[in-house]
Structure 1
Amino acid sequence: MTDDPREAGARPPFPGDQQQARPGLSSRMTPAPDHGEHSYVGKGLLTDRVALITGGDSGIGRAVAIAYAREGADVAISYLPVEQTDAEETKAWVERAGRRALLLPGDLREEAHCRDLVARTVAEFGRLDILVNNAAAQTVNDGLDDVTAKDLEGSFRANVFAMYYLCQAAVPHMKPGSAIVNSTSQQAKVADKTMLIYAATKGAIASLTIGLSNLLAPKGIRVNCVAPGPVWTPIQPIVKSPEQIASLGSETPLGRAGQPAELAPAYVLLASREGSYMSGALVPVTGGTPMY
């Protein structure tokens, strides 16, 4: 593995013709994303903790699940039922690290399911120390008329409402030293004109992270968010054209898309004692693209 950040992951061009139906599967991507399966080395930073990760079947969520397991945590994984094959793969990697994995299929757009995720995690593992709100729906547009009411409501339900419901359900089980880590995006600040609704939800997540950090600091619970740039995950071939896929990440200063494995260390930092004085932070992992 190279120390040169320009060459640490696959560079464009990528094979452009790999569009997928929603929600997309990691197993169908070429080249295969790097989730840290063969590179992440744990240091015992999360020994005997319990984490609930939404969207943990693939992409950044899988990378975080693998990293947390290798740091010593048991992991509950939330995902859509059609993502079962990817979820089983993530479970296998968690178990290879010697930790327990709980698979929890369902739709985060349903409030009852969000609350059930927390209840089932606590019932299985006896505690909940880390909540990672990572799952997201992405909608693209050419103009205002391309966004339907269904798109608008579905995106906010999946990306923002679910985060709120999960936090409501999780916090009563959390003790001082627990952590919530949210996935926002560089789109929260740069807001591409073709991603109006997605950018709006990610801006809401960034703001909600700050508010929650202020609310929960007196309880000893830290709340932070990570802002990825373009990352090679299944969400990309769902919404981008073959031309956009082929050049993904080429506009970043490092000239390439990130790999999920390159995001995981930020999530470990924010969940562990190593980040004990970090709360209300937004951590950009964007390949050098500025957010301010």
Structure 2
Amino acid sequence: MNNLPQDVVIKEVGPRDGLQNEKTLIDLDYKIDMINQLSNSGLSYIEITSFVHPKWIPQLQDAVDVAKKIDRRDDVTYAALVPNMKGLERALEADIDEVSIFMSASESHNQNNINKSIADTYPVLQEVVDEAKASGKSVRGYISTVFGCPYEGDVSVDQVMSVCDRLFSMGIDELSIGDTIGVANPVQVHNVLSTMKERFDENHLALHFHDTRGMALANTLAALQLGFKTFDGSLGGLGGCPYAKGASGNVATDDLVHMLSKMGVNTGVQLDELLKAGQTIESFLDKPLPSKQMELARRM
């Protein structure tokens, strides 16, 4: 495994992608404490909330307050999901560092998640990208259901590439490739990402693996062996997709950091600080987080 990268970047999405799927409304103070602890763990990027309409994601209705009340560090990028211009107005008011836009590779998931066709989503996102850039913000894109859709099953690589092309043409800085329902396997990951590398610079691509079937770390290894260096993770394995029945959380950031550390790959993230943040949110939810590292910490 001499071809593994020496350093990788882990982008924490738990405060957004993780908490949005919790049935319990989490107190603002707990969110702030969690994010502040994550900021002190060595993470360089935290997606802290989403500026979608509160009626769709009530768990994140306090987005502006979260963004304004956390203790920001100069060495951390604080990002948020933004669906449209109304959301962008709130994100700019909150002075988010990076704007994240999102859509699906499959038509039916896009309809269920965004309530628009793929074709109708493009102009909405282009407007957000243009205004975010004009306001001096970097922009990240998410593409969901790359490796499979809960409504359509397999998604063709050609369809995925078409959406990726369009998103990059909008001027985004990075694109996160999502296994939204956790159906990918390492061979599929190798094949899809090998095709992507022929057209796109892997330094502008990130991987967003869900662990529904326990394959996220194996899929991460497949991506690492192709030279990919940026991975999304969710603290303790929090999360899921509100529009994909049965989908569990992202790969747990703490499990990912542990694996990479043991493999000699540097993340710059301190596992013990991650676990403290996990314990903070675990105490409020009054239930165990599903990651292996959190389980081990409870036993010790």
Coarse TM-score class (shorter-chain normalised): 0.3 to 0.5
TM-score by length of 1: 0.39
TM-score by length of 2: 0.39
